[in-house]
Amino acid sequence: MEGVAGDGLAKGAGVISRALAGTCAGLPDLMLRALSCLPMPRPILATIDLAALRHNLAVARRHAGARKVWAVVKANAYGHGIERALRGFADADGLALLDLDEAARAREGGWRKPVLLLEGLFTADDLPAIDELQLTAVIHHRAQIEMLAAFRPRAPIDVYVKVDTGMNRLGFAPTETSASLARLAALPGVRIVALMSHFANADRDDADAGPGAVSDQLRAFEAACRSWSGPCCLANSAALLLHPQVGGDAVRPGIALYGATPMAGRPAASFGLKPAMSLAARVLSVRMLAAGASIGYGSRWRARRSTRIGVLACGYADGYPRVAPDGTPVWIGGQRVPLVGRVSMDMITVDLTDVPHVDVGAEAELWGAHIPVDEVAEACGTVGYELLCALARRVPVAERN
């Protein structure tokens, strides 16, 4: 979004119209005329800023120093789109993601650098695709080793071996690590590329983390991997930005690449990050609400004064959190205004009393340059990750370079 009542939504409508025209090429004239009469989508638009993606990757690269950078693009690039991430993160050393569909999309989009499957293979049926797409798989359980042992790839499959140092989700226990490495090293169809682990509390100072502090996990990793002299990959966004003592040969930032903070209570801008996604909607209706009157489901909010209410074309079916409380900020008319009343499926309501010049058709920012997604998330008792990933498929998406 370019400004307070900017033309982001209008530009987005133009993008959608051009895309529709391209999709319709070759259709019969009668059908084309019918399609040209279709109304434009609801006045809501997510805009992905590719320049911000590139900027945030450069920030991560500066913190990484000589270490390689895996750009984490799981969950459809945290809601930003795999195909956009390919362009925004073109300078990354590799992509890290979750499943074969996303990996295939990356390869189809022209990505020829390494692709890391963060949870490895789920069943033996995944192995032919891993082999064909030349993917690197994280191996974290002995069952995966046995699947690899029974498979004959065209070329050795690269693997990262995950060690559980305190997260207690995935990974080999420290006592299992040496034996697991030996078993993998004995397989002719496998090449061990690196060891990795994942921090449970990298978003906190060690003094505040208690058991499971970054320093504790580092010691556990070093103890478990004494027999390994090859590369290691340890730092996520929080460790990369907050714990410079974490070494290794590669890093795998995620949320920071999208311009959101990895640490509650510290704004992303303080790390030099820029938001890559903005979510905007227009005002559908403006009405006066008498003092004492309520609005929305459950009549949660009641006016203490005569209040000018704006209804925006965004709801929980678009990915805006239903749990957003009264007072959650929205940017419109050059300033913040509070959300009032419960979020419904397709609409939210805001108090426009202090912005009398705002009327039907005005553009509001739900999150973006003026309202950080992390601030909205904090108001809702969650994290920016969740809001970005929850952007609904029905929301039109435009790009900005």
Q: Would you name the residues annotated as active-site residues?
A: 74, 297
Q: How many CA atoms lie within 13 A of 223 on its CB side?
A: 13
Give the residue among 278, 270, 240, 242 at the shortest CA–CA distance from 53. Answer: 278
**What type of residue sits at position 181?**
L
Which one-letter DSSP state was computed for residue 339? Answer: B
Burial 129-166 (b: 16+ CB within 10 A, else e): ebbeebbbbbbbbeebbebbeebebeeebbbbbbbbbb
**What type of residue sits at position 286?**
V
Residues near 247 by Cβ (< 8 Å), separated by ≥ 6? 232, 234
Residues near 92 by Cβ (< 8 Å), separated by ≥ 6? 57, 69, 70, 71, 113
Q: What are phi and psi of 140, to 5 degrees?
A: -130, 0
Burial 279-308 (b: 16+ CB within 10 A, else e): bbbbbbeeeebeeeeebbeeeebebeeebb
SS3 163: strand
Q: Which H or E run contains 130? A: helix 127-133
